[in-house]
Amino acid sequence: MDRFKHGRIGRALVFALALSACSPAFNWREVQAGDDGYRVMLPGKPSHLQRRINLDGLDVEMSMRAVEVEGMSFAVGSIRLPMGALGVPGLPGAAAGAQGAQTSRHTDALAASQRERALAAMRAQMVRNLRGVEQSAEPVEVPIVDGAGQVRGRVDGWQVEAHGPGPAAKAASPGSGAAGETQRDARRIEMLARFAGRGDRVWQAVVIGPLIDREQAKVFVESLRVIE
C-alpha cells in the first residue's frame, strides 16, 4: 500500500482503517490503476475485466475493477473516448499555423462536449440498471494527483444517489402466477456514485447494494483521484 502524505488522503486512510477494525470484512487498500488513469481505495482485492458498452450511440470499451463485500458491489469503470469520434479532421501543415489556436479551442470544446455526453449516458445507465430514480445529485471536485500522490489540481464531477427495485427477475413459470408475468425483487437497491471526466477519459466509482453502508461507501467514492 502506498504511504499517504497529504491531508485528505491521509484522513481517508485513517478513517478506513478505523472502519475496518469495526468491520473486518472490509480490507481497505489503495489500488493504483495507472493504465486507466486513477487511484482509489477498495475494500478488498479487485477483479479486473473489460467489456464493450454503448454510450448514447458511442461504442467504447470500459475497463472495470470491482470488489463485492457483504452484499455491496464497489466498482470503478474507466473509459478512453476515441478522439476520432469528435469528428475533427486533421489539418495539413500549411493550414496549421494561422488556424492552430482556433482549431485547438474548437477541439477542446468538442472533447468537453463528448465527455459530458458520455458521463450523462453512464449516469443514466446506472440508474436504469436499478429501474430507479435519482434521489440527489450534487457537484463535487475530484483531486488530480501526480505519481507521488501530491494533489496538483481538481476536476469537476457529480455525486449521485439513487435507488430502485433492481433488475427484473426471470419470467414466472406456469402455475407460479399469471402467464408471462415477470416477477420483481421487492428489495430496494441503493446506489452511491461519483462521475468525472478529464481529457479523453471518463470515470465512474459506484457502490450498489441493498441498504448500502453509507460510511464504507463514502470512503470509496471520496477516495477517487485522477492521475495527472
Highest mean pLDDT among 15-24, 166-175, 183-192: 183-192
Pick the CATH number of 7-86+98-227 from 3.40.1000.10, 1.10.443.10, 3.10.450.50, 2.40.30.200: 3.40.1000.10
Name 141's bridge partners. Answer: 156
- Confidence tier at 103 by pLDDT (50, 70, 90): low
- Confidence tier at 101 by pLDDT (50, 70, 90): low
pLDDT at 146 over 60: yes
DSSP state, residue 149: -
Nearest to 221 by CA among 126, 133, 109, 116: 126
Q: Is the pLDDT higher at 56 or at 195?
A: 195
Q: What is the pTM of this model?
A: 0.78
Cell of 45: 482485492
Q: Residues 103-118: what's their mean pLDDT?
A: 79
pLDDT at 173 over 80: no
What is the reported pLDDT for 15? 47
Domain assignments of the chain as residue spans, ordered by start? 7-86+98-227
Reduce the DSSP state of residue 19 to 3 states and report it.
helix
Cell of 154: 481538481
DSSP string, 24-42: TT---EEEEEGGGTEEEEE
Rounded CA separation 212/215 (Å): 9
